[in-house]
Structure 1
């Protein structure tokens, strides 16, 4: 009898390995929640978005393991310590459910239904309700009621999410019309950078407050779940940044007009944007700015090519992109003899940085097939130039395996070199390598400047995003581009931009045509 009792006690205890699995799973959940917390602080958000700890198949599996003890219906685990872990685990479950609530807003309807149904099954608290200790029964019952309330809140929130998204989308479109109408109004004594900062700020506020996760996190149901778990929702943050005179409440998207948003909320959002842009400004490339200073206008856009030079492909009419002439001119410059190595390296670094912005302009504004192919050719050629000391298999292979691309690159090199020779053949004095290098630098800077005149339009376009769940990320791209190109945009304001339609400004050939017609 004693042996049977001993065996009964031994088998009623939880297995050590199960405890280890539970501890590891719980640790993963805690680390994910802490990561979300740190992400919220690092992003200077006034709420904690679900980026790392969100409701999905993986997190549900981990939570299921972590909740092994409170939902274990087969093991009595009569010891005091074993019973004490059950209510603690249920309290942990409540905390996780409250943290997972905003992630419901990031799912489509089908995924939302599946995950909520699985969560209901996973969160079943029945196993904790039996104990030989009266106090534990009371505590367990309280936690069980809290869990059921959170489940009710989660289900109720999931039912309102599709309607929330429709309301937010409608208000976003309406506010966008207001924003665009105000953008057309003349803004006196505002630089291009200030206008762009204002535009990005408005859309940042719209994207942040129009986020489905924000809508759920600020809803009464989510606040109730936070109160249950003693997690208060704070609708604003303190920040020391520039004062903002503009009233941003117009651009705050609210599900219900009766919901009051703290006055500091729009300013807190704006301050987080300012911090983000200031951080991006530290990434500005001084070498590129120095190269752009060599531009005194846009003459280089007109003279890098000549109609008097016949193309290699007589029966194919090729357009001019932004990046391919820049890469071709750079290729010519870096092979000139008697030029200091440091000077060539500085040019190469400057062009490399500038091409990243050039490709962004082309990808945003030159989307037709012929331009996309030219971008590929210029990137492949640039990689070959950058790896001239070693074989770059990917880029070299692309040019070799595609004869048409090789011919396009050769045609660009031929036309530009012949244009340079044609332009200087009438000179009575021979041009030195240093003079030619300076001339090429000026043309490169001119083409860059003309291309970069489209950056403000790209920033504005990046602020607009049709997919509701991608708006925050898209506005961040716009803000980061604004910060990284602030000096470039300010530099362009010192030049006299041509009076062209913005649609035509996106194309090199339209610039060349305008500049030719403007010659007195």
Structure 2
């Protein structure tokens, strides 16, 4: 095609859909931030941890797409909506970085370096392009002040984020060491003695270890740091600048969004970008503001007793990593001595500069926190006064309520003092006084949640247990095994096999079968946790076979492709059904022995293990069936239910030990991810 035939309108036609693509990427980021806010409110987590919107390659890619308008130098954007969309994009980026901050604690050193480097490239590109547009007049004079301030603050947030990432390994090491020291004191008894645990002692252990896990959770440590508090204040300020600019636009122009797309190739799509990114700024600012407020509240202790010199001290862990790099040996092999000396001096100069910058960031962050405390302390004082007045006004009603309680309800065990188990860094000495009650209440809420969400179907099934007598009777040693290689029994596989047999029995009402399936489904959640924690590697193939078989039974009513419900309708007697299941299992094992070769060996092994279990259990039940002449279909179903109940009950006796093992978890990255009382 020649240049004369070039149609400029045709080349710019896809631009609105590019804008839709930008809006979609911004929407995904906004939804992820909203999900973090919702999860934190739902679980009452003060640190607002990053579970969905974290610093990773996916999020950075989405942000790179969302920043298309601020970095666009080639496309003319002369409309008011276009200009505000550029400003909203810059503020959106600053808000995203503020939300990233706690996630630094949950990623390792290599990922931190790679992600911070990628984020730095994006930020530098964004800053340079914005200032080029400011210099060329592409950004109108009406928004020059706001855009300049927001871009500078965004760059400042990135610097704080980068230097905060340097301190994460040092804080992890320190807290890991402190956790191990307190763990030795708290553990007391050996794991072998957990069989004598009482419920009250187990609750106390859960409270102690939950306190240790929560206060040493790296995300919460970063969230309550002074740098996170300072970055939150800066991001909150950028959001206020965007609000000020929008309000000024509405005051200056009666119809600010008229003539959408008249001055830009992105046309109407810039309005949607502006709206979505503005909403994202609002949603993201919620978590930032609450982290900021939480850090200030934790600092507002009744017994401060600190001098200003101590208050603005830079603790050792802030610069520990930089000092280690400075004192470490130089690894590059340079032959010329003068060049080695020059490189060594340059390294020391750069690291000395970084240390001074880190100290400056910490002092600045503490200054921001100090002034925040100064301005917000009066608000906290008013809240405490109102809460105290409310408690006094309701004291009479609560006293009357206590009189009406029964003696059993009024007797509560005294709350143990667990302030010793609060892990804090240097400079956080006031933390135990402020956080003990919050985390104790959080643990009590989790325990109460467990009481309120008990597995109803499983409880009904366990009531049929007759003391674990049937645990030793579901598999008779007189029945020969089809597999030459004996696999040990897990808890899950016999339960799944017995449930499959129960579903296939004829003349059983559907609601009874459905009730059993629901009960087993609830029980296997706990059984899987027990097996995973006990972690017997010899049971790996058995557990895999049980999981795959149960997936088919639970979802489709099929055992290894055999329709159990159809088998129940076609079968005349339970004896015929048991014989049919045993024959199918025999055929499967024979087929597995022939075809179990090469890459498909694992799949055939799973089928062989499941079929061998079905054969042995079916034959065992057939032996009992022949010994008992009056064993009807209903009575056999009830007996199978009792067997399942006994096996589940015997397995669940290991729960106290499993809870203690989960409490004794030592990897600090796992602290706070899951609670032993609710997992």
Q: TM-score, normalised by structure 2?
A: 0.57
Superposed CA deviations along residues 373-396 of structure 1, whole A, max 9, x for unmatched, are 333454566567668976753999
Contact 2:475 2:616 in 1 (8 A): no
Q: Counterparts in 2 of 1:56-135, with a 5 A limit? A: 56-72=56-72, 86-124=86-124, 125-126=127-128, 127-128=130-131, 129-130=134-135, 131=137
Once residues 333 and 391 of structure 1 are traced to their aligned partners in structure 2, the CA distance between those partners, rounded to angstroms, is 12
Once residues 94 and 549 of structure 2 are traced to their aligned partners in structure 1, the CA distance between those partners, rounded to angstroms, is 57
Shift of 1:222: 1.1
Change in Cα spacing, 1:70 to 1:184, as seen in structure 2 (3 Å) is same
Change in Cα spacing, 1:354 to 1:155, as seen in structure 2 (3 Å) is closer
Residue of structure 1 equivalent to 2:34: 34
Shift of 1:263: 3.8
Shift of 1:66: 3.5
Residue of structure 2 equivalent to 1:373: 541
Contact 2:36 2:50 in 1 (8 A): yes
Shift of 1:318: 5.5
Q: Counterparts in 2 of 1:289-368, with a 5 A limit? A: 289-306=459-476, 309-312=478-481, 319-330=488-499, 340-365=509-534, 367-368=536-537
Change in Cα spacing, 1:118 to 1:390, as seen in structure 2 (3 Å) is closer
Residue of structure 2 equivalent to 1:157: 164
Shift of 1:227: 1.9
Once residues 470 and 301 of structure 1 are traced to their aligned partners in structure 2, the CA distance between those partners, rounded to angstroms, is 35
Stretches of structure 2 that go unaligned for 5 or more consecutive residues are 1-14, 237-288, 299-382, 392-411, 564-583, 594-607
Contact 1:45 1:269 in 2 (8 A): no
Once residues 451 and 444 of structure 1 are traced to their aligned partners in structure 2, the CA distance between those partners, rounded to angstroms, is 11
Once residues 81 and 451 of structure 1 are traced to their aligned partners in structure 2, the CA distance between those partners, rounded to angstroms, is 64
Stretches of structure 1 that go unaligned for 5 or more consecutive residues are 1-14, 482-520
Task: Tell me whether 1:411 sits opposite 2:634 in the alignment.
Answer: no
Superposed CA deviations along residues 259-302 of structure 1, whole A, max 9, x for unmatched, are 53274533323433444444444443333222222223232234
Shift of 1:332: 5.5
Superposed CA deviations along residues 413-438 of structure 1, whole A, max 9, x for unmatched, are 324543x368x57xxx8556655555
Once residues 444 and 20 of structure 1 are traced to their aligned partners in structure 2, the CA distance between those partners, rounded to angstroms, is 55
Change in Cα spacing, 1:58 to 1:347, as seen in structure 2 (3 Å) is closer
Which segment drifts farther, 455-464 or 177-186? 177-186
Q: Counterparts in 2 of 1:460-479, with a 5 A limit? A: 460-473=660-673, 475-476=674-675, 478-479=676-677
Change in Cα spacing, 1:89 to 1:391, as seen in structure 2 (3 Å) is closer
Once residues 384 and 91 of structure 1 are traced to their aligned partners in structure 2, the CA distance between those partners, rounded to angstroms, is 50
Residue of structure 2 equivalent to 1:175: 182
Once residues 226 and 334 of structure 1 are traced to their aligned partners in structure 2, the CA distance between those partners, rounded to angstroms, is 57
Change in Cα spacing, 1:200 to 1:417, as seen in structure 2 (3 Å) is farther
Supply the RMSD in Å over aligned alpha carbons. Answer: 4.3
Change in Cα spacing, 1:219 to 1:292, as seen in structure 2 (3 Å) is same
The answer to which structure has the higher helix fraction is 2
Change in Cα spacing, 1:273 to 1:399, as seen in structure 2 (3 Å) is farther
Contact 2:101 2:228 in 1 (8 A): yes
Superposed CA deviations along residues 67-91 of structure 1, whole A, max 9, x for unmatched, are 4454455678677776565555444
Shift of 1:46: 1.0
Residue of structure 2 equivalent to 1:447: 647
Once residues 519 and 208 of structure 2 are traced to their aligned partners in structure 1, the CA distance between those partners, rounded to angstroms, is 33
Shift of 1:350: 2.8
Once residues 207 and 355 of structure 1 are traced to their aligned partners in structure 2, the CA distance between those partners, rounded to angstroms, is 27
Once residues 642 and 186 of structure 2 are traced to their aligned partners in structure 1, the CA distance between those partners, rounded to angstroms, is 39
Shift of 1:319: 3.9
Superposed CA deviations along residues 475-499 of structure 1, whole A, max 9, x for unmatched, are 33x3224xxxxxxxxxxxxxxxxxx
Residue of structure 2 equivalent to 1:511: none
Query: SS at 1:469's partner residue?
Result: helix
Q: Counterparts in 2 of 1:169-318, with a 5 A limit? A: 169-181=176-188, 191-192=198-199, 194-230=200-236, 231=289, 232-235=292-295, 245-256=415-426, 258-261=428-431, 263-306=433-476, 309-312=478-481
Superposed CA deviations along residues 345-372 of structure 1, whole A, max 9, x for unmatched, are 4344433433443343333325232x33
Shift of 1:343: 3.9
Query: SS at 2:51's partner residue?
Result: coil
Query: SS at 1:123's partner residue?
Result: helix
Residue of structure 2 equivalent to 1:166: 173
Change in Cα spacing, 1:73 to 1:180, as seen in structure 2 (3 Å) is same
Shift of 1:453: 0.7
Once residues 66 and 257 of structure 1 are traced to their aligned partners in structure 2, the CA distance between those partners, rounded to angstroms, is 39
Which segment drifts farther, 75-84 or 449-458? 75-84
Once residues 347 and 445 of structure 1 are traced to their aligned partners in structure 2, the CA distance between those partners, rounded to angstroms, is 10
Query: SS at 1:472's partner residue?
Result: coil
Equivalent of 1:458, from 658, 664, 669? 658
